[in-house]
Copies of this chain bind each other. A is one copy, B any other.
Amino acid sequence: MDKIFASIITIGDELLIGQVVDTNSAWMAQELNKAGIWMNHRTAVGDVWEDIWKALDEESKEASIILITGGLGPTADDITKPLLCEYFGCKMIVDEGALANVKNIFEQILKRPMIERNLKQAEVPDGCTVIQNKRGTAPGMWFEKNGKIFVSMPGVPHEMKGMMSDYVIPALQKQFTLPFIMHRTLLTSGIGESFLAEHIQEFEESLPAHIKLAYLPNYGMVRLRLTGSGDQKNKLNEEIEKLFLGLKKRVADWMVVDEDKPLQQVVGDLLKQKKQSIGTAESCTGGYIAHLLTSIPGSSEYYKGSVVSYAYETKENVLHVDAQTLATVGAVSEETVLQMAKGALALLNTDYIIATSGIMGPDGGTPEKPVGTVWIAAGNKEKLLAQKFYFRFDRQRNIELTSNNALNMIRKFILES
């Protein structure tokens, strides 16, 4: 079966001066990938006639499917529609469906009279199949030329996503014979990318051509993803599962979870299973661990709260850290982080606790305690573990590394307790 390739063209000056981060492309790529359509290229251009025209020529050389987003707004700088009209040798006509939609949006939702400019939103090149927009005024357009498919959609994420899910992906699946694509992902912690690669080199080299291994490192953790493609779903599934099992065995010592799931969700799921709760006592992470845990919907089931004890005063008055300890060994010490953990366990009355204290930088380091020195405590009322770390990055990254290591410490503790 021939691989079907797609390309994405995102249009808008805002993309080229860095005003917006392009989140559409990643989402579209995921959807294409799930459908068995491959991408080998994507591009971004400004609202410039010749640049868009050139991109259409270039991208359609190798890809069979060209997905275009942006430049469909009602303002002067949005030139995508007239350009496509000329590119495909069409003339503009009013689409009744699109017109009804625009009218409806103004009458029912915006409750404002329409102006000429809005009516223009209902015009489309006569050579395209119109994709009605259930979430906005700009219709999508599906063109076919020399066996290539061009789809133009609005850049507004939820409008584009709606069109992709409701119409574009199903239509592409009808039009092409597509392979099955399967991914299996696992998360490792506590081993660097290169050591991991060394460790599983044989495995990687033994993979068949249609199954690939990807390394995705992120803040002290590495994700490993197996991706396979084939035309027989069951056969591919068996193959991938067998290989994934082998991979899991090889990285067992460092594996956090055998799914594509963030660490904070892994911890949360463990607590849900055990019907147990957790709290945090954060100094140097300043609430970031609490944020990670509460970023998971439903976290209130197991997360009770946190004391962010940034000041000595807060450590003493709220967590009852001994003033003497702070005066002698300081806040960034095993004693302090253990006392923070004990104090928070008592105050928040949770089954498990995480506590952090360190120097995140750029300032505050000393010869004995350089920037990046961190103490983390994790445990429960029976047992508390404390570990010292050194991170050597900028403030934000030190905070993220500390948080991930703290979450991984408590994950191991929960599993062993």
A158 contacts across to B, CB distance below 8 A: 393-394, 396-397
Would you call A314 and B309 a contact (CB within 8 A)?
Answer: no
Q: Is A211 an interface residue (CB 8 A)?
A: no
Would you call A18 and B22 a contact (CB within 8 A)?
Answer: no
Would you call B297 and A305 a contact (CB within 8 A)?
Answer: no
A21 contacts across to B, CB distance below 8 A: 21-23, 25-26
Chain A interface main SS type: mixed
Would you call B40 and A295 a contact (CB within 8 A)?
Answer: no
Knowing A17-B33, A21-B23 touch, does A295 contact B197 (C-beta < 8 A)?
no
With beta carbons under 8 angstroms apart, the residue of B23, B73, B363 that contacts A217 is B73
Would you call A310 and B304 a contact (CB within 8 A)?
Answer: yes
A74 CA / B288 CA spacing, docked (Å): 30
Interface size on A, residues (CB 8 A): 107
Q: Is A347 an interface residue (CB 8 A)?
A: yes
Chain B residue at minimum C-beta to C-beta distance from A42: B44
Q: Quote the shortest CB–CB distance from A143 to chain B (angstroms).
A: 22
Q: Is A330 an interface residue (CB 8 A)?
A: no
Q: Tell me which of A45-53, A124-132, A239-247, A405-413 binds B.
A: A45-53
Would you call A48 and B44 a contact (CB within 8 A)?
Answer: no
Would you call A13 and B214 a contact (CB within 8 A)?
Answer: yes
Q: Is A290 an interface residue (CB 8 A)?
A: yes
A39 contacts across to B, CB distance below 8 A: 16-17, 46
Would you call B18 and A30 a contact (CB within 8 A)?
Answer: yes
Would you call B227 and A17 a contact (CB within 8 A)?
Answer: yes
A212 contacts across to B, CB distance below 8 A: 13, 77
Q: Is A300 an interface residue (CB 8 A)?
A: yes
With beta carbons under 8 angstroms apart, the residue of B29, B31, B73, B303 that contacts A215 is B73
Copies, count: 2
Q: Is A293 an interface residue (CB 8 A)?
A: yes
Knowing A75-B193, A287-B294 touch, does A310 contact B303 (C-beta < 8 A)?
yes
Q: Is A194 an interface residue (CB 8 A)?
A: yes
Q: Tell me which of A110-118, A144-152, A248-256 binds B.
A: A110-118
Chain B residue at minimum C-beta to C-beta distance from A288: B291
Q: Is A216 an interface residue (CB 8 A)?
A: yes
Q: Is A266 an interface residue (CB 8 A)?
A: no
Would you call B318 and A313 a contact (CB within 8 A)?
Answer: no
Would you call B45 and A41 a contact (CB within 8 A)?
Answer: yes
Interface 1/0 per residue, A51-91 and B, CB below 8 Å: 10001001000000000000001111100000000000000
Q: Quote the shortest CB–CB distance from A373 to chain B (angstroms).
A: 12
With beta carbons under 8 angstroms apart, the residue of B198, B282, B308, B313 that contacts A117 is B198
Interface 1/0 per residue, A206-221 and B, CB below 8 Å: 0000001111110000
Would you call B308 and A305 a contact (CB within 8 A)?
Answer: yes
Would you call A41 and B43 a contact (CB within 8 A)?
Answer: yes
Q: Quote the shortest CB–CB distance from A285 to chain B (angstroms).
A: 8
A192 CA / B75 CA spacing, docked (Å): 11
Q: Is A14 an interface residue (CB 8 A)?
A: yes
With beta carbons under 8 angstroms apart, the residue of B115, B201, B309, B395 that contacts A194 is B115
User: 12 A-B residue contacts at CB 8 Å?
Assistant: A19-B225, A22-B25, A25-B44, A77-B214, A282-B290, A286-B293, A287-B306, A290-B290, A304-B314, A305-B308, A305-B318, A306-B306
